[in-house]
Structure 1
Amino acid sequence: MTRIGLSIASHSGLPPERIAAVAADAERAGFGGVFIAEGHGDALGLCHPVVAATSRAGVGTAITNAALRPPVLTAKTAVDLDEASGGRFRLGLGTANAVMNGRAGLPPHPPLTMIEEYVSVVRAVLAGDPAGFTGTIFQVGQVPLDRPPLRPDLPVHLGALGPRMQALAGRIADGVILNLMSPGQAAEAVTTVRAAARDAGRDPAAIEITCVVHYCPSDDPGTGAEAARQVVPRYVLHPAVGRLFGAEHEEGLAAARERAMTGDRAGAAAHVPQPVADAFVAHGTAADCAARVQEYRDAGVDLPVVFPMPVQGRWDYDTVIRTLGPAASGRASA
């Protein structure tokens, strides 16, 4: 069966009740999962209205910045969300980047060590491990919960841009969430994740591979292409920008990064090379997006998650749900 998810951005500015309504519409249209992408809001907090508004679709974060919350608190929140959803919740964790975390006043930590220990703490809390966890960054004792978790093995997925984080996800996580990559890059990531799982003695096929597919819906090619360029400045502050988007575009991306650092996203978008935007942002008609989603499936992605982006300032979730929802188009969904 064909599976597809929908991501709702916290930075869309939608109030919780509207996010809940979008989630309910997505479930009715046949989307198998609804995820919250954390911008400047609280993705875990916004999962509560999504859980309440749905009854079948999976619900999760794709992703939430682990550095913002102590792992014990994250585990407790995940337990509540999983119970409220009847076992439909998955926890998607990431490390954001040093620039964003520095602005939030967070201390720097080696991202691989931090997220590996973070996952260990979450799992120790879920399991009620009397030994707790002792690492180089986190040290916790046994953490009691008010009620036993509905699923002590609640799935934990890791957001992974680079090969080292992808390999870590293959070794320790229940799934990986890919982002900011072309279908070709996604295929390489799938190989990395599966190989790491195999080397760790795990079943490679048991690691669910999700990929976020940014999409700017528009029937006008020029409008869609321009909107796609405007997506890139949200990500040019990442330290691995050259590797993510291609060293051949370094000059344009450096100019975009400089503008983005000052808060001038419109100016930054003007410097984004169109091939960069085209590589990881689908744009155009629903058929164009469906074709791009199929490219990710062909690359080995288990669950493509469509992430609608604003076009001319408008977040058009209704159109995306109506035109891409499996129920509306006659496709089956899991």
Structure 2
Amino acid sequence: MTSLGVIFQPSLPPEGLRAAAVAAEQAGLDEFWVWEDCFKESGITALVAALAATDRVRVGVGILPMPLRNVALLAMEAAMIERLFPGRARFGVGHGVLDWMGQAGARVASPLTLMREYVPALRGLLAGRELSVSGRYVKLDRVKLDWPPAAPVPVLAAAEGPKTTALVGEVADGLVLTGGTSAGMVRASIAQARGARSDAGVDGPFEVPVFLMAAFGDNAAKRMEGEFDRWELTGERRYAAAGSVEQVAATVREVFDAGATSVLLQSPSADADMAAFAANAGRVRELLGS
């Protein structure tokens, strides 16, 4: 079954988060995602608030920047969240915006090395294993969670470039593709990640959540051009779903056909009416069916 959701961006006031999550659930959507952007809103806090405000919808956080978060701490947080809200939370990690990491005093010289060490350690801790690791960035001495999750927790990771995409295929349980990723780019990224996964002899499910920029209404295309400019997107990356519910649904289908396992609709940054956006997304969900 197709899995469709919406994103609550940290450019929106945090006091509107819970109502937006409820609106997504009431619209019949499958997922509701939050972000962690420096220096706006905490991803973990937003995740828990959205889970507590709802009963059914799955809530994802993308992307938690690995340089800012000690892997043992994130494992503790993710494990407790999973035990409190079984099967409803999804966790995505990534390099973080390098300039922001520098501002916070957390920039690393080799983001790829950090991911290669961090994601397997996080997965191991969430699986209940005791780990001792002496890496360049990840250092653990007999660390084991007292309260590991009762069920497996997939660790997803974001990527854009080919090296990171291949590494995600090797070490993570899924690939998060952010806004401005066309259907063709989705297809190519999945092929690269799965190829690296196969070469590494890694088995198991592999999720691909895709953030899709979207706008509804008669002036949607024009508004989206402004959004592309805001994000400094060029060429093939100026890709979005815009127009009527039917037109948005057609673009969502393109992304699913390219291999996405879930599509998360991202509203224009200035659109504060998340209830209306979620309602339109719910109509898209109805058109997509199962």
What TM-score does the superposition give when structure 1 sets the normalisation length? 0.78
1:208 alignment partner in structure 2: 207
1:149 alignment partner in structure 2: 149
1:294 alignment partner in structure 2: 253
Residue 156 (structure 1) shift: 0.2
Query: Residue 242 of structure 2 is aligned with which of 283, 288, 299?
Result: 283
CA–CA separation in structure 2 for the residues paired with 1:328 and 1:106: 40
CA–CA separation in structure 1 for the residues paired with 2:164 and 2:105: 24
Residue 126 (structure 1) shift: 2.2
* Equivalent residue runs for 1:9-88 within 5 Å: 9-15=9-15, 18-39=16-37, 40-88=40-88
Structure with bigger helix share is 1
2:280 alignment partner in structure 1: 323
- Matched to 1:19, the amino acid is L
Residue 176 (structure 1) shift: 0.6
The 3-state SS of whatever aligns with 1:320 is helix
User: Is this contact kept in 1: 2:166–2:192, CA < 8 A?
Assistant: yes
Residue 331 (structure 1) shift: 4.5
User: Is this contact kept in 2: 1:157–1:175, CA < 8 A?
Assistant: yes
1:181 alignment partner in structure 2: 181
2:226 alignment partner in structure 1: 227
The 3-state SS of whatever aligns with 1:142 is strand
Query: Residue 303 of structure 1 is aligned with which of 255, 259, 262?
Result: 262
The structure-2 alpha-carbon separation of the partners of 1:118 and 1:220, relative to structure 1 and needing over 3 Å to count, comes to same
The structure-2 alpha-carbon separation of the partners of 1:332 and 1:55, relative to structure 1 and needing over 3 Å to count, comes to farther
CA–CA separation in structure 2 for the residues paired with 1:319 and 1:160: 30
User: Is this contact kept in 2: 1:92–1:157, CA < 8 A?
Assistant: yes
User: Is this contact kept in 2: 1:177–1:209, CA < 8 A?
Assistant: yes
- Matched to 2:215, the amino acid is C
CA–CA separation in structure 2 for the residues paired with 1:108 and 1:31: 37
Between Structure 1 and Structure 2, whose CA radius of gyration is higher? 1
CA–CA separation in structure 2 for the residues paired with 1:99 and 1:307: 23
CA–CA separation in structure 2 for the residues paired with 1:148 and 1:228: 41
Moved more, 184-193 or 103-112: 103-112
1:252 alignment partner in structure 2: none
| Coordinate RMSD, CA, aligned | 2.3
CA–CA separation in structure 1 for the residues paired with 2:126 and 2:285: 38
Residue 305 (structure 1) shift: 1.0
- Matched to 1:167, the amino acid is A
The 3-state SS of whatever aligns with 1:214 is strand
1:162 alignment partner in structure 2: 161
CA–CA separation in structure 2 for the residues paired with 1:96 and 1:130: 27
CA–CA separation in structure 2 for the residues paired with 1:221 and 1:138: 45
- Matched to 1:135, the amino acid is G
Residue 59 (structure 1) shift: 1.6
- Matched to 2:248, the amino acid is C
1:101 alignment partner in structure 2: 101
What TM-score does the superposition give when structure 2 sets the normalisation length? 0.89
User: Is this contact kept in 1: 2:25–2:56, CA < 8 A?
Assistant: yes
The structure-2 alpha-carbon separation of the partners of 1:327 and 1:187, relative to structure 1 and needing over 3 Å to count, comes to closer
CA–CA separation in structure 2 for the residues paired with 1:211 and 1:8: 14
User: Is this contact kept in 1: 2:35–2:41, CA < 8 A?
Assistant: no
Residue 330 (structure 1) shift: 5.5
Residue-by-residue CA offset, 1:167-220 (whole Å, 9 max, x unaligned): 11111111110123111111111111121222222347x211111101233422
Moved more, 214-223 or 161-170: 214-223
CA–CA separation in structure 1 for the residues paired with 2:221 and 2:170: 43
User: Is this contact kept in 1: 2:221–2:242, CA < 8 A?
Assistant: no
Identity %: 29
The structure-2 alpha-carbon separation of the partners of 1:94 and 1:31, relative to structure 1 and needing over 3 Å to count, comes to same
